[in-house]
Structure 1
């Protein structure tokens, strides 16, 4: 699975779990664009990710984190979090 498809899958699942339909995002973007996202046909910008995440009431990083877990089935959530923590430590130095 490529990264766009992984993100689309995560986005669709998160949207449904939040009890939202594609039309709920219309102040931000069209229903058809949401459909493109969910099918993994487009890459979205950081600004769009932030706006869509706000509608769902979740942090954008949570969605990106889940997308990478769907994209790389060989890594666990704990291992990915450890990798992120290592990367953050490097930035502090």
Structure 2
């Protein structure tokens, strides 16, 4: 499944589970419909607006999208990988990394 389609399905799943209509999700009904069908990419700004409008964290939508795209990985495994990546980053002195 294409990532754009998976992210749209994730938005739709959270929106419906929270009891919101498309026109209550922070954007116009036609824009939300296009995003949910994978016809329109979801920008970070749109993601933040959609998530706050339906009462979920934007990262929950992103994680669900990646889980839908790659069904060979489970929630706990993906969250563990994210935790490992963030822990490694927190141990890195970013001010000492040369920019390319």
Normalized against structure 1, the TM-score is what?
0.92
Aligned pair 1:45/2:43, yes or no?
yes
2:66 to 50, 68, 73: 68
Determine the C-alpha separation between the residues in 2 that align with 1:57 and 1:37.
18
Determine the C-alpha separation between the residues in 1 that align with 2:89 and 2:40.
30
Structure 1 segments unaligned to the other structure (5+ residues): none
Aligned CA-pair RMSD: 1.0
Aligned pair 1:8/2:8, yes or no?
yes
Q: Per-residue CA shift, 1:11-44, capped at 9, x if unaligned? A: 111111111111113xx42211101001011111
CA radius of gyration, larger in: 2
Structure 2 segments unaligned to the other structure (5+ residues): 92-100
Determine the C-alpha separation between the residues in 1 that align with 2:44 and 2:27.
14
Q: Per-residue CA shift, 1:28-82, capped at 9, x if unaligned? A: 4221110100101111111111111011111000010111100101101111011
Tell me the matched-pair count: 91
- Runs in 1 of length 4+ with deviation above 2 angstroms? none
Normalized against structure 2, the TM-score is what?
0.86
